[in-house]
Amino acid sequence: MPIRVLLVEDSRLARVILKRILNSSEQMEVVGEARTGLEALELIPKVQPDVICTDLHMPEMDGLELTSEVMALYPRPILVISVSVQEEDTHQVFQLLEAGAVDIFPKPTSGLVMNNQVFQQELLTKIKVLSGVKVFTKKRKLADSKKSFELENVAAFSDNSSREPKIVVIGASTGGPQALQKLFAELPSDFPVPVICVQHISFGFLQGLIDWLAKSCRLPIKIAQPGDLPKPGTIYFPPEQRHLELDGRGRFICPDSPPLDGHRPSVTITFESVAKFYGKRTAGILLTGMGRDGADGMQVIAQAGGFTIAQDEATSVVFGMPKEAIDLRAAKEILPISAIAPMLVDLLQKQPEELIINN
């Protein structure tokens, strides 16, 4: 059965091009088109789409209102396709994610054209992934935040492997912004170690993500700068289209070396670099996301004796990256998203000051 897609877009030309792109795949079928959110709401029960692709700015009912209504009435995966990457617009895009949209995808700034092969392939891939998302983290009843789910037959961790971390590294992809919002909101203002986070996100949306996360987070969130030393109680993201590593002195370097397995920044590259410098004092966390980026990096952290956590399947929008790490036996703990911050706080509550690197 082909994936049933509903297009919601006020531009007739954009609808025509998007429909041609989607119908060019035997795996997809455009079952409905709407110019506004109101038209889309009327169509959904009639055409029963598997995935909804919506623009942000539309007359009568915009993408944000539509997403809220869909999640209340007809919950299903929503992909936001928007050219909006200006500061005021990215704020609204992330409000869409907060309302229940699963992912965002930018239109080319030069406009939609049929010969943009990269855009076409990435769009088709995202829709294929989202078609398998049947239940939303936002709607799930999460497990008790203090309950720990340990993986059976996990690779052996010595007693020394659970010593208090000096740094936390996090990797995420599809569904990651929502997961990070939940995790960061539960970190206390006196969190005693640096946090480095790699989130796969389309170009132009990073600052919007940081601004959105900052509204519910007690810790400062910054884009890492080359030469800076990670500071306790600060969350760092790599610059757009750059990897994030540590040099021999533990300071940031942000190379534009080639992507690893299609990703720049790469979660695995960051995980491996941090594990090389901090060793067993590294805590690695792999959250929801498609593919396997970060799995090999988490295995390096585990082999160095660090503490590793994979988000569980029940609260992952896409159980790809965490599952790959679990299959490698690289995850010491498998936890719902609500349990990860409490676990970190428990690990660090007796953190001695001498373990923290200062400037």
Active-site annotation, residues: 173, 200, 293
CA distance 135 to 302: 31
For 316, list phi and psi in degrees, rounded to 5: -90, 135
> Can you tell me which residue has the tokens 């940031």?
252
Structure tokens at 195: 């946090």
- Give CA angle at 108 (58, 41), nearest 5°: 30
Residues 6+ apart with CB under 8 A from 325: 286, 294, 295, 298, 299, 308, 310, 331
CA distance 132 to 135: 9
Closest CA to 53 of 130, 138, 140, 168: 130
Residues 6+ apart with CB under 8 A from 24: 120
- Give CA angle at 294 (135, 243), nearest 5°: 120
What is the residue-wise DSSP string for 118-161? Answer: HHHHHHHHHHHHHTT--S-GGGS-PPPTT--EEPTTPPP--GGG
CB 175 within 8 A of CB 286: no
Closest CA to 238 of 205, 184, 198, 269: 198
Closest CA to 82 of 72, 68, 67, 71: 67
